[in-house]
């Protein structure tokens, strides 16, 4: 299970690198919030923890099944060390992807 592997301090860096590599290898396929998260090397659970929400909420945002609230956008920007404009661009890119 990924959560157990992330808790293992020996495995966590490898998972983070794998996520960063995936985002780099698949820029045309992985867009939006998922791309920002993966570039950071984070799981959905990790991003949810950093933002103060749930993993299913992050999944719904990534899939475009839920509109983002401004407060959530601010917390995502802070957690990912990005601007609100970067978050907006990521959501726009996800909408264009379909």
Who wins on pLDDT, 98 or 25?
A: 25
* pLDDT mean over 67-78: 96
Query: What per-residue confidence (pLDDT) applies to 4?
Result: 64
pLDDT tens figures, 9-55: 888 899 999 999 999 999 888 999 999 999 999 999 999 999 999 99
CATH topology of domain 2-97: 434 Repressor (Amino-terminal Domain) (1.10.260)
Q: What's the whole-model pTM score?
A: 0.86
Query: What per-residue confidence (pLDDT) applies to 3?
Result: 67
Rounded Cα distance, 29 and 50, in Å: 25
The full set of domain ranges for the chain reads: 2-97
Q: Is 59 helix (H, G, I), strand (E, B) or coil?
A: helix
Widest CA span in the chain:
38
């Amino acid at each position: 299970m990924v959560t157990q592997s992330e808790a293992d301090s020996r495995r966590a860096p490898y998972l983070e690198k794998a996520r960063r590599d995936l985002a780099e290898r698949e820029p045309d396929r992985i867009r939006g919030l998922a791309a920002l998260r993966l570039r950071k090397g984070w799981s959905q659970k990790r991003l949810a923890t950093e933002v103060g929400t749930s993993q299913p909420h992050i999944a719904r945002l990534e899939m475009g099944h839920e509109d983002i609230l401004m407060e959530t956008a601010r917390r995502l920007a802070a957690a990912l060390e990005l601007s609100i404009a970067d978050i907006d661009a990521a959501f726009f890119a996800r909408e264009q992807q379909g």
